[in-house]
């Protein structure tokens, strides 16, 4: 079984991964469109996490779960990702950097009808990520760990880099 990772699953999969490699999901892109009032935010200052939205392409990681572990690992993954109606699991075709089709992978796409869906402008994204903190840490930590995981795989995502630069500048200005 393949899982497409584009955010925290890249740096904290919390499942047994038999193989990990760079992959592209055509027709989907990262977006800070999941509002979180717990974990990396609060009801008074919700944080933001990534969702996978239709349009463009997304380069991330494809994680292979060994067949012998699929049932157990899928249960863990579901309990982690499907807690607040924020995502819709979908099978998406994934491709290697050379264009070779790797197969279909489960991806946690944003649920635009869900209660946590949002579509903030860039200024609001930066404000929320720079200021929100919850029991699991800050939204900024989530952003920077995702950016670091992308960089470690040799992936340059202009959107994540731009938001990272803007959040860094806002945090530096606050000191």
- DSSP letter string over 15-61? S--SEEEEEEEEEEEEEEEEEESSSS--SSS-EEEEEEEEEEEEEEE
Instruction: Indicate which CATH number applies to the domain containing 121.
Output: 3.10.490.10
Catalytic residue list contains 19: no
In total, the chain counts a number of residues equal to 175
Catalytic site residue from 19, 71, 81, 161: 81
Model confidence pLDDT, tens digit, residues 128-153: 999 999 999 999 999 999 999 999 99
CA nearest to 3, candidates 68, 70, 51, 49:
70
Model confidence pLDDT, tens digit, residues 86-112: 999 999 999 999 999 999 999 999 999
- How many domains in the chain? 1
Model confidence pLDDT, tens digit, residues 158-167: 999 999 999 9
- Report the alpha-carbon distance of residue 95 to residue 109 in Å, rounded: 17
- Report the alpha-carbon distance of residue 137 to residue 132 in Å, rounded: 9
What's the DSSP call for residue 67?
G
């Amino acid at each position: 079984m393949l899982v497409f990772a584009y955010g925290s699953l890249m740096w904290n999969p919390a499942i047994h991964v038999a193989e990990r490699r760079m992959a592209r999901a055509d027709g989907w892109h990262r977006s800070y469109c999941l509002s979180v009032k717990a974990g990396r935010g609060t009801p008074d200052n919700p944080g933001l996490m990534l969702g996978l939205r239709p349009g463009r392409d997304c380069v991330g990681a494809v994680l292979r779960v060994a067949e012998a572990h699929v049932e157990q690992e899928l249960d863990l993954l579901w309990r982690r990702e499907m807690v607040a109606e924020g995502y819709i699991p979908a099978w998406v075709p994934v491709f290697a950097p050379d264009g070779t089709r790797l197969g279909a992978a489960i991806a946690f796409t944003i649920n635009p009808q869900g209660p946590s869906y949002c579509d903030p402008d860039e200024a609001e994204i930066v404000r929320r990520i720079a200021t929100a903190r919850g029991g699991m840490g800050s939204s900024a930590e989530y952003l920077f760990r995702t950016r670091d995981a992308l960089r470690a795989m040799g992936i340059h995502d202009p959107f994540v880099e731009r938001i990272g630069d803007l959040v860094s500048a806002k945090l530096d200005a606050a000191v």
